[in-house]
Amino acid sequence: MPDQKDRNIDFTKLDYLKIGNARHRQAYTVLTENKIMTCLQSYDPILVGTIPINIDIENSDLDIICYYQNQLDFAKQLKFSFSKFENFVIRKSNGPELKAVKTNFRIGDFEIEIFGQNIPTRQQNAYRHMLIEYKILAERDEVFRQKIIDLKRLGIKTEPAFAQVLGLSGDPYSKLLVFESE
């Protein structure tokens, strides 16, 4: 991956993965050879999560967020494009707090999760959190990064791990967003 101090990475494109570590290059190959992003192109897909910012652990998945305008059409596209892959499952959430479609499947060494909402991808919390976490990592040292990874290996999710290492109390998901304006 490019130097952690380089804040000019465009995470909306996959090119940065080509010059990253072995896991980045492997993710790039899986995503491009299987045309994952191409199939999702009309939904403004963005790879988010731990792999892009180099805090992934052995079983980290490839998280892709999408923006749909029609939930049913999006679900149909997911089924049409990805149901052929191993362990394919699709779920819809239509609760008052969250309306979303999520699908999971496996390609080779990677579990892939595609998450869609009727919220533009650059406004979704997963993308916003990743940018904040990347900024924090760029400002800290390798010891900090390793602490996050160690907590993740203990089963702690990414945002709570950051909150713990940063000493933040309260809801870690909302607390991290405070760093967005800094």
Per-residue pLDDT of the chain (182 residues; tens, 9 = 90+): 444 445 578 999 999 999 999 999 999 999 999 999 999 999 999 999 999 999 999 989 999 999 999 999 999 999 999 999 999 999 998 777 778 999 999 999 999 999 999 999 999 999 999 999 999 999 999 999 999 999 999 999 999 999 999 999 999 998 888 888 76
**pLDDT reported for residue 139:** 94
**pLDDT reported for residue 3:** 44
pTM: 0.91
Q: Is 120 a domain residue?
A: yes
Q: Is 75 a domain residue?
A: yes
Reading the block at residue 143, the tokens are: 């010891």
Q: Is 78 a domain residue?
A: yes
Q: Is 136 a domain residue?
A: yes
Q: Is 3 a domain residue?
A: no
**Domain residues for 38?**
15-181
**pLDDT reported for residue 95:** 74
Q: Is 44 a domain residue?
A: yes
**pLDDT reported for residue 1:** 41
Q: Which long-range contacts (CB under 8 A, 24 or more apart) does 123-129 make?
A: 124/65, 124/67, 125/173, 125/177, 126/48, 126/49, 126/63, 126/65, 127/11, 127/46, 127/48, 127/65, 128/177, 128/180, 129/48, 129/158, 129/159, 129/173, 129/176, 129/177
Q: Is 115 a domain residue?
A: yes
Q: Is 6 a domain residue?
A: no
- The kind and range of the H/E element at 87 are strand 86-94
Work out how many domains the chain is built from and give that number: 1
Looking at residue 58, which CATH number applies to its domain?
A: 3.30.460.10
The b-or-e profile of 140-154 (16+ CB within 10 A means b, else e) is eeeeebeebbebbee
